[in-house]
Amino acid sequence: MSIFNQYKEPVFLNTSTSLQDQIHQLKELESKLNDDGKERVKKDIKLLEYGVFGENSIIYELQNSHMPLYILHDVYFEIDGFTAQIDFLVFTPKLCFVIECKNLYGNITVNNDGSFIRKVYFGSRYISEGIYSPLTQNERHLQVIKKIRLNQAGTIKKLLINNSFDITYKPIVVIANSKTILNTRYAPKNIKSKIIRADQLIEYMKSEYHASKISPASDKATRQWAESFLACSKVNTADYLKKYNEYIIEVPKQLDKSILYEQLKTFRYETAKAENIAAYIVFNNKTLDALIEKYPTTLEELKETPGFKDVKVQKYGKAILDIFLGNTNK
Q: What DSSP assignment string belongs to 265-278? A: HHHHHHHHHHHTS-
Q: Check pLDDT > 50 for residue 253.
A: no
Q: Check pLDDT > 90 for residue 94.
A: yes
For 255-297, the pLDDT digits (tens) are 467 788 889 999 999 999 999 898 889 999 999 988 988 888 8
Q: How much is the pTM? A: 0.72
The percentage of residues in the chain with a pLDDT greater than 70, rounded to a whole number, is: 94
- pLDDT at site 256: 60
Residue range 303-309: mean pLDDT, rounded: 88
Range with the lowest mean pLDDT among 115-124, 172-181, 190-199, 303-312? 115-124
For 99-110, the pLDDT digits (tens) are 999 988 788 899
Averaged pLDDT score across all residues of the chain: 88
Q: Check pLDDT > 90 for residue 156.
A: no
Count the neighbouring beta carbons within 10 Å of the beta carbon of residue 282.
Answer: 22
What Å distances lie between residue 96 and 38, 145, 168, 298, CA to CA? 41, 11, 6, 47
Q: Report residue 123's pLDDT band, with 50, 70 and 90 as the boundaries.
A: low
- pLDDT at site 326: 76
- pLDDT at site 197: 92
Q: Check pLDDT > 60 for residue 307.
A: yes
Spatial separation of the C-alpha atoms in residues 305 and 291, rounded to whole Å: 6
The percentage of residues in the chain with a pLDDT greater than 90, rounded to a whole number, is: 51
Residue range 188-198: mean pLDDT, rounded: 91
Q: Report residue 180's pLDDT band, with 50, 70 and 90 as the boundaries.
A: confident
Residue pair 97/203 in contact by the 8 Å Cβ criterion: no
Spatial separation of the C-alpha atoms in residues 153 and 232, rounded to whole Å: 14
- pLDDT at site 252: 41
Residue range 219-247: mean pLDDT, rounded: 91
Q: Report residue 329's pLDDT band, with 50, 70 and 90 as the boundaries.
A: low
**DSSP strands (E only) in the chain:** 11-12, 70-79, 82-91, 96-102, 107-110, 116-122, 125-131, 169-175, 181-183, 195-197
